[in-house]
Amino acid sequence: MFKRMISLSIMIILIFSTSVVSAEVGYEAEVKVYDKGLYINSEKIINYHSLYPYFIYNDILYLPLTVQNSHILGFVLKWDEETRTITVTSDESTRDNYKEPWMKHDWKTIEVHKSDIKVIINDKEYIPKEFPVFEFNYIAYVPLTFSVVHDYFGWDLYYNPFTGIYISSEEGVSALSTFDEYAFEYDKALAEYARSINSELSEEDALNLIMLIKEKCALYDMDELLIFATIWQESNFNSKDYYQGAIGLMQIMKSTGASAGLTPEMLYDPEINVDFGVRYLKDKLDTYKGSEELALSAYNQGITRVNRGNYSTRYYNNVMAKKAKVEAYLSEKGFISPGGVEQVNSDKAEQ
């Protein structure tokens, strides 16, 4: 099943939309910030950190025409105030590595409005039909439809429903060739392990859970195997789990969620639950200066007991034992060394 999905050069949902939009200039819309993996010329972009994030509108990914993107994708921008025209010209000599934003955001949705800006890409004027040009904070956005990607920019795009979107603007380099199959096999191995714990998880749900864990760990700079082990300890990867007021994958207490404006119903949502749980554990790690013992104990028993020093280490020991089991499993599969270091240069990775 996975191979059939991966073999799609571009998933249809990202190319065609069944909705035809008729919107006047100034039309406003709340759009979802793209929250899956985004890889440009083999570099991973943490999209929700960006000041001007990529977003999805009517199932199409929108590209912000920023200086940052002009550098990584290799094009030059020219603005004509009199005619309100942006000219985009491909120029590989300008390509540079992605620069992490100094100020990190945590976008989920943004408000955009339809723009009257004219966009000319490599001497071709983009004529908005189903997909208008939008603006967000004075930055123009263009839709990455099949035509815009291939005919206007001359790029290549590949979509994997689990890992995300891959864009190649390098001549002669296919987007599919930048897809890290080794990393995907690693993710599938973790998904397989989760299913060995919870047999009710489908292959698709298990892999989506792994992608969710990786996404949130990347966002909050957390150890994904620690979070994997914590979810295993808390709920056996059951998003519907409930025990004495604790809800979902990371067993967030109703009272704790309520303090952040989250209802019990919201805590059953895997994305909301894991996002909150990872952020909450990250806060405890920061509070206790990186001590996993103190942070995990506070996560389980509360900060009062930890601060008083009368906490139990049983929870911490259980989580770390589970993490060690996962590391041993990944080591047997050839993904990490016995010491827990990922084998990025292994023979398997090079094949």
Spatial separation of the C-alpha atoms in residues 100 and 226, rounded to whole Å: 25
The verdict on whether 92 is a catalytic residue reads no
Q: Confirm if 115 and 140 have CB atoms less than 8 A apart.
A: yes
Only one residue has tokens 């109703």, namely: 254
Q: Confirm if 30 and 72 have CB atoms less than 8 A apart.
A: no
- 85-90/43-45 β-pairing: unpaired
Q: Collect all residues with Cβ–Cβ distance below 8 Å to 147 and sequence separation of at least 6.
A: none
Spatial separation of the C-alpha atoms in residues 249 and 269, rounded to whole Å: 9
Q: Confirm if 271 and 212 have CB atoms less than 8 A apart.
A: yes
Annotated active-site residue in 224, 234, 327, 332: 234
Cα-based angle 124, 127, 132 (whole degrees, multiple of 5): 130
Q: Confirm if 197 and 232 have CB atoms less than 8 A apart.
A: yes
**In this structure, what token pair is assigned to residue 185?**
């096999």
Catalytic amino acids?
234
